[in-house]
């Protein structure tokens, strides 16, 4: 009984090396989202003070969005015949989103979020370039996620501007 395999597109046998490259990029994206979920949970709970409330609410919403991104990256890894990695393969990188010394230091949190979003934006632009003409489905998915990250960064740039205008950042 012959198994029906795709002869065109990214799932075809001839595209194995392209798939492997894309899967590696998707795994990195998956870990970035997972670490962002962790960092945004802590930074949506730790901050103190009246001015922290907007940031707290904003990051609480983002936790759910970033978790959704992680799930999308994981699904796409599987669709490309990859395996979603286990937790032992995780290694943390977001030194800039560790809790500040003072929990009223909102500028630290805002700058950390901007750095995390910028990292995601750079990596997702790379995936969009690599998948161009090769894997339109991954490309389409990542374009949509990229828009979310650009929105997140823009929002936090706005917060930072307010602190800069007051000479606090
Ligand atoms: Fe995300
Ligand atoms: Fe984001």
- Tens digit of each residue's pLDDT (9 = 90 or more) over 78-95: 999 999 999 999 999 999
Q: How far is the CA of 12 from the centre of ligand 2 (A)?
A: 32
Q: How far is the CA of 156 from the centre of ligand 2 (A)?
A: 10
Region of residue 135 (left: phi > 0; alpha: psi -120 to 50; beta: else): beta
Angle of helix 16-43 versus helix 136-165 axis, rounded to 10 = 30
Indicate the pLDDT class of residue 56, thresholds 50, 70 and 90: very high
Q: How far is the CA of 147 from the centre of ligand 1 (A)?
A: 10
Q: What is the pLDDT of residues 103-120, one digit of tens each?
A: 999 999 999 999 999 999
Rounded to an integer, the average pLDDT of 152-163 is: 97
- Detail the DSSP E strand segments found in the chain: none
- Detail the DSSP E strand segments found in 20-149: none
pLDDT attached to residue 157: 98
pLDDT beyond 70 at 4: no
């Amino acid at each position: 009984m012959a198994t029906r395999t795709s002869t065109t597109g990214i799932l075809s046998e001839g595209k194995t090396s392209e798939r492997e490259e894309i899967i590696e990029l998707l795994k990195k994206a998956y870990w970035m989202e997972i670490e962002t979920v962790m960092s945004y949970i802590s930074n949506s709970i730790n901050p103190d003070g009246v001015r922290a409330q907007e940031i707290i609410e904003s990051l609480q919403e983002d936790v759910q969005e970033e978790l959704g991104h992680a799930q999308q990256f994981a699904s796409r890894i599987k669709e490309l015949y990859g395996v979603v990695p286990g937790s032992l393969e995780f290694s943390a990188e977001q030194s800039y989103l560790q809790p500040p010394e003072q929990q009223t230091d909102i500028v630290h949190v805002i700058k950390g979020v901007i750095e995390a979003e910028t990292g995601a934006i750079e990596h997702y632009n790379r995936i969009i370039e690599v998948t161009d003409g090769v894997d339109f489905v991954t490309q389409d998915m990542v374009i949509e996620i990229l828009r979310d990250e650009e929105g997140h960064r823009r929002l936090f740039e706005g917060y930072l501007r307010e602190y800069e205008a007051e000479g606090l950042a």
